[in-house]
Chains A and B, each alone.
Chain A
Amino acid sequence: MNIDVPAGGEAAKPPLLRVSGVTKRYGAAVALHPIDLEVRQGSFTAILGPSGCGKSTLLRLIAGFAEPSTGKVEIGGRDVTRLGPENRPTNMVFQGYGLFPHMSVAENVGFGLSIARRPRPEIDQRVAEALRLVRLEDFASRRISALSGGQQQRVALARALIMRPLILLLDEPLAALDLKLRQAMQTELRRIHRETGGTFIFVTHDQSEAFSLADNLIVMNEGRIEQAGVPQDVYMRPNTLFVSQFVGDTNILPGIRRGDHVELALGARFSSPGRQGQTTFVLRPEALRLDAATPAGSAPEGTALRCTVEEMLLLGGEARVTLSIGNGETLVARLSDPRDGEAFRPGMTVTVRWADKALSEVGVAA
């Protein structure tokens, strides 16, 4: 009775998932402020945000484990807001996996099909297929307790994938794994996403994981979506200070706009029309170029400033240089080749330059 007929005059390809005006409160506490969200068929979406921002809550609302306080969840054009997880075309990979300890790997993976009373040969065949997909063919009869964390992760993945969900939901699927294994599993997840052609939504608080996997990024903070879009766009053009800081490192540059020009507190001036008065720009550390030789002066399409090297850190694959501008302001530059960094010693005077288009305006900082 809650099933909506898709409206006739809609766009040619409606999104697979549409969340509209969804809120969630626990008593007086608000876990989610109104959320609007669309996910296209075949996408790999990451929900990224700090701990406690409501990522899991949103995922559980999509899965059906919780009902929204207000708003609507539609999957494939059908209103599923009041349906439980057992009646939704979604499956979930839980944060702690939730594998059945009393069953073998194959029994775990085949559980959903056996509940659906599929014939035995079909179950066996699809279990074998799913185990092949996650590369656990040789572990079918193992007990769950005899698996490593990474292997358990794969079983959880196979157990959900075998149901051929319209949307696969993953709650911090790799959080419990060590760095090496996490990277290997990221590669696996990308491959599995490609091979199944499914729609994946995963939750993470690790921005590098979000960037390495997702083609659609949703950044959340305090129960709100701060920004959504293609990961690279979000990185290059953050809408808010929070996004710029949470998604990678950033330099925060307060300034004032007068007429068609902005004057930054650290002493640069460039052309940028917009709202008059106080404003804030952010600048990625890797957008900065350092130069020991050339003198200061306005470079074409950009800014160049004299400054002093305050600190230089070699961090394995990169170098991080802290620069102090005459008036007490500092900038951090990242050099992707650490050998470039070795040329800069603390106390040296250098020229830092950047292209004006590398600056993103995030409004007045709170």
Chain B
Amino acid sequence: MTGWPRALRRGLALFPAFGILTGLFFVPIALLFAVSFWSVKSYRLVPGFSPDAYARTFSFYGPLFISTMLIAAAVALLCVTVGFVFAYGARFRSGRYGDLFILATMITLFGGYLVKIYSWKAILSANGILNSALIWLGLVDAPVTWFIFNRGAVIVALAHFLLPFAILPIYSALRNVPDITLEAARDLGASPWATLVRVVLPQCKAGLVAAFAICFLSAAGDYVTPMFLGGGSGIMLGQFIVSEFSTRFNWPVGAAMSFSLMGVSALVIAAVWLAIVGRRG
């Protein structure tokens, strides 16, 4: 009766949701993107269009960039591997209790993030649980100091925190693998290993890549875990993004680092997706 074309009415109906998304998400990001081309003169932001911030990101922070990507990749690989083993067990070896196990892993998320970091600190530090146990067992004489304040500790703690986020997509992918495809493989002579590699894994590739992406992105952007467990000098880019924004008040460099991190992470994930899932055809 209004005579408005359908598409227009539908567009108007979408407007509130779209407005919120734009206001809360795209506008701040766009602003920050603009800032990344500005510069700072005596603690004041000067609008402009200069690539200096990006140049500094890649020259000064280059090695840290690589280190961050490697840590994130290690965390993501660890999560995908352990997550797959866990999800596989819940899907194929737990009968009706599979969903319950998955729920249990989700509950560990309620503990929060800092709790996990502090518990790893309590385990790995010089007078921590691990060292006490080793000394009590007589395996070492003095506390081992290299358990903490290094990349290894950060990788372990991040993987521990992110594991449930890997399990979820992998489990849901495995749920879509029909049981009879496994039976068919067995009937055709496939060993359990061959069935895993040739029938199960290929059917849940998308879930594995999704898990990798979630863990990789979360790990790459993290700055709290390395702050507590990574040692004083800083091992991840996130820590320096924080300091560029806060202590140094260099927003352009902080913003440029953020966008570089996003861009490179997106490239890594796209490469992984192409390599594993490939083009549909």
Residues on A facing B (Cβ under 8 Å) = 63, 65, 84-86, 90-92, 94-103, 111-112, 115-116, 159-160, 163
Distance of A279 from chain B, by nearest CB (Å): 46
Distance of A324 from chain B, by nearest CB (Å): 51
A95 to B180 alpha-carbon distance, docked (Å) = 9
Instruction: Return the CB mask of B173-207 against A: 1 if under 8 Å, else 0.
Output: 00000101101111111110010001100110100
A92 to B186 alpha-carbon distance, docked (Å) = 10
Question: CB-nearest residue of chain A relative to B190?
Answer: A115
Contact B180 A98 (CB under 8 A): yes
Distance of A172 from chain B, by nearest CB (Å): 13
Q: Which of B188, B198, B199 contacts A163 (CB 8 A)?
A: B188
- 21 chain-A/chain-B pairs, Cβ below 8 angstroms: A65-B183, A65-B187, A85-B186, A86-B187, A94-B180, A94-B184, A95-B180, A96-B178, A97-B180, A98-B183, A99-B181, A100-B184, A100-B199, A100-B202, A100-B203, A111-B190, A112-B188, A115-B185, A115-B194, A116-B189, A160-B188
Q: Residues of A contacting B187 with CB < 8 Å?
A: 63, 65, 85-86, 90-92, 160
Contact B203 A115 (CB under 8 A): no
Distance of A233 from chain B, by nearest CB (Å): 33
Report how many residues on chain B are interfacial, defined by Cβ distance under 8 Å: 18
Q: Residues of B contacting A160 with CB < 8 Å?
A: 187-188
Contact A115 B189 (CB under 8 A): yes
Q: Residues of A contacting B186 with CB < 8 Å?
A: 65, 84-86
Q: Residues of B contacting A163 with CB < 8 Å?
A: 188-189
Q: Residues of B contacting A95 with CB < 8 Å?
A: 180
Contact B188 A101 (CB under 8 A): no
Question: CB-nearest residue of chain A relative to B179?
Answer: A98
Q: Which of B188, B191, B203 contacts A111 (CB 8 A)?
A: B188
Q: Which of B178, B190, B194, B198 contacts A98 (CB 8 A)?
A: B178
Contact A98 B203 (CB under 8 A): no
A79 to B198 alpha-carbon distance, docked (Å) = 30
Contact B181 A100 (CB under 8 A): yes
Q: Residues of A contacting B198 with CB < 8 Å?
A: 111, 115
A65 to B179 alpha-carbon distance, docked (Å) = 12
Q: Residues of B contacting A85 with CB < 8 Å?
A: 183, 186-187
Q: Residues of B contacting A100 with CB < 8 Å?
A: 181, 184-185, 199, 202-203
A85 to B183 alpha-carbon distance, docked (Å) = 9
Q: Kindly list the 3 A-B residue pairs having the minimum CB-CB distance in the complex, ordered from nearest.
A: A98-B180, A112-B188, A98-B184
A206 to B119 alpha-carbon distance, docked (Å) = 63
A116 to B188 alpha-carbon distance, docked (Å) = 9
Q: Residues of A contacting B185 with CB < 8 Å?
A: 100, 111, 115
A100 to B197 alpha-carbon distance, docked (Å) = 13
For the complex with contacts A86-B190, A100-B184, 8 further pairs of A-B residues with Cβ separation under 8 Å are A63-B187, A85-B183, A91-B188, A94-B180, A95-B180, A98-B184, A100-B181, A160-B187
Distance of B160 from chain A, by nearest CB (Å): 32
A200 to B123 alpha-carbon distance, docked (Å) = 63
Q: Residues of B contacting A99 with CB < 8 Å?
A: 181, 184
Q: Residues of B contacting A84 with CB < 8 Å?
A: 186
Q: Which of A65, A92, A112 contacts B189 (CB 8 A)?
A: A112
Question: CB-nearest residue of chain A relative to B176?
Answer: A101
Question: CB-nearest residue of chain B relative to A163?
Answer: B188
Q: Residues of B contacting A96 with CB < 8 Å?
A: 178, 180
Distance of B200 from chain A, by nearest CB (Å): 10
Contact B183 A102 (CB under 8 A): no
Contact B188 A115 (CB under 8 A): yes
Question: CB-nearest residue of chain B relative to A60?
Answer: B183
Q: Residues of A contacting B203 with CB < 8 Å?
A: 100-102
A238 to B186 alpha-carbon distance, docked (Å) = 39
Distance of A48 from chain B, by nearest CB (Å): 22
A96 to B178 alpha-carbon distance, docked (Å) = 10
Question: CB-nearest residue of chain B relative to A107?
Answer: B198
Q: Residues of A contacting B189 with CB < 8 Å?
A: 86, 112, 115-116, 163
Distance of A56 from chain B, by nearest CB (Å): 12
Q: Residues of B contacting A159 with CB < 8 Å?
A: 184, 188
A96 to B188 alpha-carbon distance, docked (Å) = 16
